[in-house]
Chains A and B, each alone.
Chain A
Amino acid sequence: MQEFIQQVVSGIASGGIFASLALALVLIYNAMGLVNFAQGEMAMFATFIAYTLISHGVNYFIAFPLTLGLAFIGGVLIERAVIRPVERAPVLTLVIVTLGLATLINGAAGFLFGYTPNYFSSPFSAHTVNILGAFASYQDLSVIAVSGIVLVAIYLLLQRTTLGLTLRAAAHHPEASRLLGVRVSWMLALGWGLASAVGAVSGIMVAPILLLEPNMMQTIIIYAFAAAVLGGIDSPLGAVVGGLIVGVTVNLVGAYVVGGDLELAVALAIIIGVLVIKPNGLFGRAAARNV
């Protein structure tokens, strides 16, 4: 029983990581109907920046928000430079562009930071604390806490601020928003910046668990896809719920049923299962976009 609870808590922590990256995917999907296949690589690159800052003596708790800020700027720049020219292109072109971007970022990370895995130490110790008779590590708890804070912050930004309102308006109704003075094109860039920052959180959270190297996020992105698809690709709430479900399910199934090496296959099964049975996921709405 103790082990079961441990697996669940661990699963929730993984879920927080998946939810953050999934939320980034959802933000961009909402903004432009596109799945950003480069989201994981962007998160990885941001994590390397955090690692570099920390290695040069910057305190973790300063490096973290600083990296988010830099990731935000990076996301805006990428949207302006790479995505804007192909904004109205067909899906296939956009898929190739984002995958090309992923390749480029992955290669750049390898070039700038090397391929040797790095230990990314978290300020939260791996010591455990006793919860309901089971042991949960401070690390897991911190991941849950940080993910929770970020997700709540995004929710508040989107739902309670004017900026969030204009972001949502531009995403769902670009033409009508223009007639109300919303600078839709810039909202798109901001959406990318926001998604990049949120994705960076997932990278920084996962780095102490896996090792920091350029290919670090390539499996995480699959879990994030599963979370986003399960929750509904256009629903931020879905990304969070989906992330938690995927995290816990993958952990439990991997521990008790199929073995750790097939955890990724579980994610694939979730993706295919959801797309075949209920493509909109738990909270998603139909794919039609409004004006």
Chain B
Amino acid sequence: MQRLRNAPPLYFLGVIVLLFFIGLPTVVSSFQSSEWTQVLIFAIVIMGLNILVGYSGQISLGHGALMAVGAYTSAILIHRYHVDYLLTIPIAGLLTGLVGFVLGIPALRLSALYLALATFALAVVAPSLIKRPVQLTGGVQGILLTPPDPPQFAKDGFAAVTGGLGMTSDQWMYYVSLVLALSLFWLAWNIVRHRPGRAMRAIRDREVAAAASGINVAAYKTMAFGISAFYAGIGGALYGLSIGFVSPDTFPLALSFQLLVGAVIGGLASITGPLVGGIFTFWLPIVSSQFVASQPWIPAGIAAAFKNAGPQVSYGALLIVIMIFAPNGVVGLVTVGYARLQARLRGAGDRGSGQMPSDPQTV
């Protein structure tokens, strides 16, 4: 009982969030479930991207292209070789992870800016590379996938909880994605908590010092690339399955950019960040034009112009403003705000040490 009382409020929040996600499809429409599936998929990819960018300090503007690798791997295996769709997911992940690992080798030589440039070019060129081997990839038209039918036990369970409702393919894919998201979250948390995470953070902060203290910088950095690609591959496979097709234009540069933005806005080098990032990545482009229009302090003429100009203008403008005022992202803001609140509650005496109080429950 003592431990429960001493657990940080974040644990309780986490349980509530978990229950929310488990119960979601039972209360919203099938279409809305599929929207939240996309949020989960983005969260998975951003988790991986976070390991690369937040923990090992390497920028990637090409994770959309890596998602494409995963998506096409899965689609080709299903379409041409009739592999069971669930099996294609880990295969896609591993293959993409391998691709990422291989990409990570030349990436070692590049500074942050050059890496951004190279991955940017990769993301722009990827669609044309995909279109070329028409026999394999279906060229411009891509590959159509039939939505997977939920297995019987899932249908029964769903009907039991909802009082007789049938389970759609969308809802089933939602749960598949949720299970994967949770497992991959647990995996990421363990990686970050133990030696690999510490090593990567050391590399990110002072690479020269890390190398001097015996850390194998090259191994960890390429490993980070591989792991983040693994996540992107799984996300890509899920993405193709949940929307029912893959095509070269499903994974444009804009997607890679949105993923990176999601990671940054969610908060790099944080564990909850990817979820926030996933939410942002999915909703921000959709909501941004309405957001500007709804702010009362913006003059009506400007708000209307923004709304008509479409999501891109609002998205771009909002991004710039966020980067100027909150470069550490939402989780960063929350963490800073929480720390300041704690410091005030604790009293001026602790200000000198500048540390978080060890037991947040004590006031």
**How many angstroms between the C-alpha atoms of A289 and B111 in the bound complex?**
14
Docked complex Cα distance between A225 and B327 (Å): 27
Chain B, residues 109-138, CB within 8 Å of chain A (1/0): the string is 111111011101110110011011000000
Q: Which 4 A-B pairs have the closest CB atoms?
A: A107-B312, A104-B316, A100-B319, A111-B309
Nearest CB in chain B to that of A29: its residue: B113
Q: A34-B113, A93-B264 are in contact. List 20 more A-B contacts (CB 8 A).
A: A33-B113, A35-B116, A35-B117, A85-B324, A86-B327, A91-B113, A93-B323, A96-B264, A97-B320, A97-B323, A100-B315, A104-B313, A104-B317, A108-B309, A110-B312, A111-B308, A222-B121, A229-B114, A229-B117, A268-B124
Contact B109 A100 (CB under 8 A): no
Please name the residue on chain A nearest to B320 by beta carbon: A100
* CB under 8 Å from chain B, chain A span 104-132: 104-108, 110-111
Q: Which residues of B contact A82 (CB under 8 A)?
A: 320
A interface footprint on B291-313 (CB within 8 Å = 1, 0 otherwise): 00000000000000000111111
Contact B310 A110 (CB under 8 A): yes
- Closest-by-CB residue of A relative to B313 is A107
Q: List 18 A-B contacts (CB under 8 A).
A: A35-B117, A89-B327, A90-B327, A91-B112, A95-B113, A97-B320, A99-B61, A100-B316, A101-B320, A111-B313, A219-B124, A226-B121, A229-B114, A229-B117, A265-B125, A265-B128, A268-B125, A279-B109
Give the most central of A85, A95, A102: most B CB within 10 Å. Answer: A95
In-complex Cβ contact of A225 among B59, B121, B320 (8 A): B121
Residues on A with beta carbons closer than 8 Å to the beta carbon of B114: 229, 275, 279
What separation, in Å, do the CA atoms of A99 and B259 have in the docked complex? 13
The reply to whether the CB of A92 lies closer than 8 angstroms to some CB of chain B is: yes
| Contact status A272-B316, CB under 8 Å | no
Which residues of B pack against A, CB within 8 Å?
Answer: 53, 59, 61, 106, 109-114, 116-118, 120-122, 124-125, 128-129, 131-132, 253-254, 257, 260-261, 264, 308-313, 315-317, 319-320, 323-324, 327
Contact B121 A99 (CB under 8 A): no
Residues of A within 8 A of B129 (CB): 262, 265
Asked whether, in the complex, the Cβ of A275 is within 8 Å of the Cβ of B118, the reply is yes
CB distance from B319 to the nearest CB of A (A): 4
**Most chain A C-beta atoms within 10 Å of own C-beta, residue among B53, B110, B114, B320:** B320
A102 is contacted by which of B109, B310, B316, B324 (Cβ under 8 Å)? B316
Assess the B323–A86 pair: CB atoms within 8 A: yes
Q: B316 touching A218 by the CB < 8 A rule?
A: no
How far, in Å, is A237 (CB) from chain B's closest CB?
20
Point out the residues of chain A lying under 8 angstroms from B53, CB to CB.
Answer: 92
Most buried by B among A93, A107, A218, A229: A107
Within the assembled complex, what's the spacing in Å between the Cα atoms of A225 and B122?
12
Contacts of A229 in B (CB 8 A): 114, 117
Query: In the assembled complex, how far is the CB of residue A54 from the closest CB belonging to chain B, in whole angstroms?
Result: 24
Report chain B residues within 8 Å CB of A110: 309-310, 312
Report whether A275 and B59 are in contact in the complex, using a CB–CB cutoff of 8 Å.
no
Residue A267, interface by CB 8 Å = yes
Q: Does A1 contact B (CB under 8 A)?
A: no
Nearest B residue to A33 via CB reads B113
Roughly how many angstroms separate A99 CA and B322 CA in the complex, as a whole number? 13
User: CB distance B121 to A92 under 8 Å?
Assistant: no
CA distance A85 to B121 in the complex (A): 27
**In whole angstroms, what is the CA distance A265 to B121 when docked?**
9
Assess whether A52 is interfacial by the CB under 8 Å rule.
no
Known: A104-B312, A104-B313. A275 touches B319 (CB 8 A): no
Cβ < 8 Å to B, chain A residues 224-271: 225-226, 229, 261-262, 264-265, 267-268, 271
Contact B124 A107, beta carbon cutoff 8 Å: no
| A37 located at the interface, meaning its Cβ lies under 8 Å from any Cβ of chain B in the complex | yes
In the complex, chain B residues whose CB is within 8 Å of the CB of A264: 124-125, 128
Does residue A180 face the partner (Cβ distance < 8 Å to B)? no
B308, B315, B317 interface centre (most CB from chain A within 10 Å): B317
Q: Contacts A104-B320, A111-B310, A287-B111 hold; do A96 and B260 have CB atoms under 8 A apart? A: yes
* Alpha-carbon distance between A86 and B319 when the two chains are bound, in angstroms: 13
